[in-house]
Chain A
Amino acid sequence: MAKKNYNTIEDFLSDESFNNWAKANRLTDVDFWDEWIAYNPNKKDLVYEAKDIILGVQFKLNEPSKEKINSEWALLENKIKANNLEVQKKQSPSYFKLIGIAASILLLISVGLYTFNGNPEKITYKTAYGEVLNLKLMDGSLVTLNANSSIYYYKNDNRKVWLTGEAFFQVDKKTTTNAKFWVVTDDLNVEVYGTSFNVDTKHQKTAVFLEEGSIWLELKNGTTQKMTPGNFISYSSVNNLITEQKEKVDSRFKTSWKDGSIIFEKLPLVEAIQKIQDTYGLTAIFKDETCKTKLITGGIPITNLSICIKAIEKSANVKITKLKNQLIIQKK
Chain B
Amino acid sequence: MKNLSDEYVWKALKEGDLNAFSILYKTYYPMLYNYGLKISRKVPLTEDTLQDFFLYVYEHRENLSDLDSIAPYLFSSYRRHLIKTLKKKSKIVSFDEMDVKVIDIQFTPEEILTHQESETFKNKNITVLLNKLPKRQKEAIYLKYYSGLNTNDIASIMEVNYQSAANTIHKAIKNLREEVSILQLINS
Instruction: Give chain A nearest CB distance to B79 CB in angstroms.
Output: 18
The segment from A74-82, A199-207, A217-225, A234-242 found at the interface with B is: A74-82
Q: Counting chain B CB atoms within 10 Å of each CB, which of A59, A73, A80 scores highest?
A: A59
Query: How many residues in A have their beta carbons less than 8 Å from beta carbons of B?
Result: 40
The segment from A49-57, A176-184, A305-313 found at the interface with B is: A49-57
A49 touches B55 (CB 8 A): no
Contacts of B25 in A (CB 8 A): 69, 73, 76
Instruction: Give chain B nearest CB distance to A117 CB in angstroms.
Output: 14
Chain B CB within 8 A of A126 CB: yes
B33 touches A64 (CB 8 A): yes
Chain A CB within 8 A of B5 CB: yes
B174 touches A133 (CB 8 A): no
Cβ 8 A contact of A58, one of B1, B19, B58, B117: B117
Q: Tell me the interface secondary structure of chain B in the complex.
A: helix
Cβ 8 A contact of A72, one of B1, B51, B110, B146: B51
Contacts of A70 in B (CB 8 A): 26
B29 touches A58 (CB 8 A): no
Chain A CB within 8 A of B95 CB: no
Contacts of B126 in A (CB 8 A): 57
| Distance between Cα atoms of A127 and B4 in the complex (Å) | 9
Contacts of A134 in B (CB 8 A): 1
Chain B CB within 8 A of A37 CB: no
B18 touches A77 (CB 8 A): yes
Contacts of B37 in A (CB 8 A): 62
| Distance between Cα atoms of A110 and B21 in the complex (Å) | 13
Instruction: Give chain B nearest CB distance to A267 CB in angstroms.
Output: 28
Chain A CB within 8 A of B144 CB: yes
A49 touches B30 (CB 8 A): no
| Distance between Cα atoms of A125 and B18 in the complex (Å) | 20
B51 touches A76 (CB 8 A): yes
B55 touches A58 (CB 8 A): no
B1 touches A60 (CB 8 A): no
A56 touches B23 (CB 8 A): no
Chain A CB within 8 A of B39 CB: no
Q: Give the size range of B's interface with the partner.
A: 35 or more
B111 touches A59 (CB 8 A): yes
B54 touches A76 (CB 8 A): yes
Chain A CB within 8 A of B169 CB: yes
| Distance between Cα atoms of A133 and B173 in the complex (Å) | 28
| Distance between Cα atoms of A145 and B33 in the complex (Å) | 31
Contacts of B29 in A (CB 8 A): 64, 69, 72-73
Chain B CB within 8 A of A5 CB: no
Q: Which residue of A lies closest to B178 (CB)?
A: A49
B1 touches A133 (CB 8 A): yes
Chain A CB within 8 A of B22 CB: yes
Contacts of B47 in A (CB 8 A): 72
Chain B CB within 8 A of A121 CB: yes
Contacts of B19 in A (CB 8 A): 110, 113-114, 121
B4 touches A133 (CB 8 A): yes
B173 touches A76 (CB 8 A): no
Chain B CB within 8 A of A61 CB: yes
Contacts of B111 in A (CB 8 A): 59-60, 62
A125 touches B33 (CB 8 A): no
Chain A CB within 8 A of B42 CB: no
A58 touches B112 (CB 8 A): yes
A58 touches B121 (CB 8 A): yes
Chain A CB within 8 A of B118 CB: yes
Contacts of A49 in B (CB 8 A): 170, 173-174, 177
Q: Which residue of B lies closest to A132 (CB)?
A: B1
Instruction: Give chain A nearest CB distance to B15 CB in angstroms.
Output: 11
Contacts of A247 in B (CB 8 A): none
Q: Which residue of A lies closest to B8 (CB)?
A: A124
Instruction: Give chain A nearest CB distance to B32 CB in angstroms.
Output: 10
Q: List 11 A-B contacts (CB under 8 A).
A: A9-B170, A55-B121, A56-B121, A57-B112, A58-B115, A59-B111, A60-B111, A60-B112, A60-B113, A80-B18, A133-B1
Q: Which 9 A-B pairs have the closest CB atoms?
A: A56-B145, A55-B118, A63-B30, A58-B113, A55-B117, A59-B146, A53-B173, A57-B145, A52-B173
